[in-house]
A = this chain, B = another copy of it.
């Protein structure tokens, strides 16, 4: 655990208490079983806003608390522990980051204040296929009159179905595969020509496929400069990756804690199964991975807060490492629970399903190994 400031400690403790009281895993299970397409509970989301979590990275000038990414990461780690489904990451971290990095003063004033107040859900729409590949953006935006017209599709947009505001990566020049020629647009969820299809995924969160058919936006909807979307997008994604990694760390840590408890209580052959050395060593290795992951996640968040040059590399590291650790932790959770872990009535399956989705979003370990190697020049 990083050395926390008093504010950060309070934020984490509040999150821990709230999650236990209001959003245990059972709450997520209930949401899932309800079949509600939104993928989150609006009442809980409202409470998050009331507690100020939606404004943790927002400047005080726009109604936020400016506690930084490490602070928000602490909250996400706690919500990740109980699989709390909410638009917090998408809205208060990802979309808010895009506005912070690329937004004009007017855009910040309009949108960041609403985000901080918990008044809207926001989303980032970047990928168009099943694999993360921001530079492959093909959705086009063409200058038309006093604005732009967007045509194309986006896939698996987290909170894309519920979002009031969508930050859309569009191609205004070049070919899919080019980093150059991208522009970010702020599009409202109810825009004419925008169709949203909610997806039912294994992790039961809110995703949507979006179709843009002649969606027209004003010139003021451009985030940053036309054609200058790539650096904003990349930096936004890195922050989203670090935040998601924090959530995944919490999910993995809880999977481990529950499993460790089971190792201590489940008996076979007249012994607690945790007395078997083969399981002890596996548990110790998993604990080692968790500790290593924690260091990466905290370092990435701190680098963002400090504006360090290596924030991108650390975000890739954190996302990859959190993915691998959560992968292992979720598999071990099922295996060490044996048959009961295979039942839908047990929570292990929920962790497993969430694990693979979180691994894939914003690039899996394979993607980030490749990126890390490129950043290191090999």
Chain A contacts to B: CB under 8 angstroms: 276-278, 280-281
Distance between Cα atoms of A308 and B329 in the complex (Å): 44
Distance between Cα atoms of A277 and B280 in the complex (Å): 10
Residue in chain B with minimal CB distance to A275: B277
Residues of B within 8 A of A281 (CB): 278
Residue in chain B with minimal CB distance to A279: B277
Distance between A291 CB and nearest chain B CB, rounded to angstroms? 20
Residues of B within 8 A of A280 (CB): 278
Distance between A280 CB and nearest chain B CB, rounded to angstroms? 7
Rank and list the top 3 A-B pairs by shortest CB-CB distance, nearest first.
A277-B277, A277-B278, A278-B281
Sample of 6 A–B contacts (CB below 8 Å)? A276-B277, A277-B277, A277-B278, A278-B278, A278-B280, A278-B281
Residues of B within 8 A of A276 (CB): 277
Distance between Cα atoms of A278 and B276 in the complex (Å): 8
Distance between A281 CB and nearest chain B CB, rounded to angstroms? 4
Distance between Cα atoms of A280 and B281 in the complex (Å): 12
Distance between Cα atoms of A263 and B278 in the complex (Å): 16
Distance between A287 CB and nearest chain B CB, rounded to angstroms? 15
Residue of A276, A277, A280 ringed by the most chain B CB atoms within 10 A: A277
Distance between A240 CB and nearest chain B CB, rounded to angstroms? 32
Distance between Cα atoms of A277 and B277 in the complex (Å): 5
Distance between A284 CB and nearest chain B CB, rounded to angstroms? 10
Distance between Cα atoms of A276 and B278 in the complex (Å): 8
Distance between Cα atoms of A84 and B281 in the complex (Å): 37
Distance between Cα atoms of A124 and B302 in the complex (Å): 57
Residues of B within 8 A of A277 (CB): 276-278
Distance between A273 CB and nearest chain B CB, rounded to angstroms? 11
Distance between A336 CB and nearest chain B CB, rounded to angstroms? 14
Residue in chain B with minimal CB distance to A281: B278
Distance between Cα atoms of A319 and B319 in the complex (Å): 35
Distance between A59 CB and nearest chain B CB, rounded to angstroms? 50
Residues of B within 8 A of A278 (CB): 277-278, 280-281
Distance between A45 CB and nearest chain B CB, rounded to angstroms? 44
Distance between Cα atoms of A227 and B355 in the complex (Å): 55
Distance between A332 CB and nearest chain B CB, rounded to angstroms? 14
Distance between A282 CB and nearest chain B CB, rounded to angstroms? 9
Residue in chain B with minimal CB distance to A276: B277
Distance between Cα atoms of A277 and B276 in the complex (Å): 7
Distance between Cα atoms of A138 and B353 in the complex (Å): 53
Residue in chain B with minimal CB distance to A280: B278
Distance between Cα atoms of A370 and B69 in the complex (Å): 42
Distance between A269 CB and nearest chain B CB, rounded to angstroms? 12
Distance between Cα atoms of A280 and B278 in the complex (Å): 8
Distance between A277 CB and nearest chain B CB, rounded to angstroms? 4
